[in-house]
Amino acid sequence: MTSVMERLGIEHIPESMRHGKTMYQFTLWFASNLTVADYALGPILYTLGLPIPWLALALALGNVLGGLLVGLLAAMGPTYGYPQIMISRAAYGRVGNLPFAITNWVSTLGWFSVNAIIGGYIINYVDPRIPLYAAILITVITQFIIALFGYDIIHRSEYILSIVLGIMFAVSLALSLTKPHLLSAYLRTATFNPFNFAIALATVFSYIMSWGPYASDYSRYLPRTPVGPG
């Protein structure tokens, strides 16, 4: 994997600039779905009070269906060489695609702001000597630098984070297993409710499929002919 500054925006990626391996698609999406939002997703499902087997089914179905959708969209990247919103313009037309593009821009701006604020609070928590406004500014600058270098640095960062965040989630799981009384209390009150199951399924599915508008953005530099996983 190379590491150069991004030179293209929404333009088509020519064959001469294609590079990368499919393995980095796995580490990208693995790390992207091991973020702080996942810690919020768990409590939401917990409050639904479903039995563990039904919760597991909702998690499995939501992840599989959402991941399948994102995967199918990401597969368009090497074929068309365009960002996802540009690809959708071929189906909806310039005018028809405009509402989707505007909505996606607002959503992206929102996520940028959320990441900056949460990152700022984390930095301030680790080192209270850094004012919150300065910590948020550090996060904003970091995101700007990553965006400036673009595709390659994103994949490289997510490759590292897939390991770091994977270990952190494993530790979190181990710590949760040291408190079996919490699970026992939950099991005593858990009951199946089809409405709550639908909410759980929709929550998990929507969380994964929310990456859809960007899916091919992270695969459009791949060669049309797939390169091995190594």
Reported confidence tier of residue 64, pLDDT bands at 50, 70, 90: very high
pLDDT higher than 60, residue 227: no
Please give the model's pTM, rounded to 2 decimal places. Answer: 0.77
> What was the pLDDT predicted at 134?
94
For the segment 179-189, what is each residue's pLDDT rounded down to a tens digit?
777 777 777 78
Question: Any idea which of 134-143, 173-182, 221-230 has the lowest mean pLDDT?
Answer: 221-230
- CA 178 vs CA 25, 162, 168, 222: distances in Å: 34, 25, 16, 43
Q: Which residue reads 């700022």 in tokens?
A: 120
Residue whose C-alpha is closest to residue 80's, from 156, 18, 152, 143: 18
Instruction: Give residue 205's region: left, alpha or beta (phi > 0; psi -120 to 50).
Output: alpha
Answer whether 171's CB lies under 8 Å from 156's CB: no
> What was the pLDDT predicted at 74?
92
Instruction: Give residue 20's region: left, alpha or beta (phi > 0; psi -120 to 50).
Output: left
The CA distance from 45 to 59, in Å, is: 9
DSSP per-residue string spanning 128-150: TTS-HHHHHHHHHHHHHHHHHHT
Overall average pLDDT of the 64-83 stretch = 91
pLDDT higher than 60, residue 228: no
Pair of tokens at residue 198: 């639908």
Overall average pLDDT of the 23-34 stretch = 88
List, in order, residues 6 or more apart from 219 with CB less than 8 Å away: 25, 74, 75, 76, 77, 78
pLDDT higher than 60, residue 157: yes
Reported confidence tier of residue 226, pLDDT bands at 50, 70, 90: low
Pair of tokens at residue 18: 């294609």
Handedness of CA 107, 111, 112, 114 (dihedral sign): positive
Answer whether 223's CB lies under 8 Å from 18's CB: yes
Cα Rg, the chain, nearest whole Å: 20
pLDDT higher than 70, residue 27: yes
> What was the pLDDT predicted at 216?
92
Angle value at C-alpha 177, between 172 and 178, nearest 5 degrees = 100
Pair of tokens at residue 169: 């989630």
Percentage of residues of the chain with pLDDT beyond 90: 23
pLDDT higher than 80, residue 218: yes
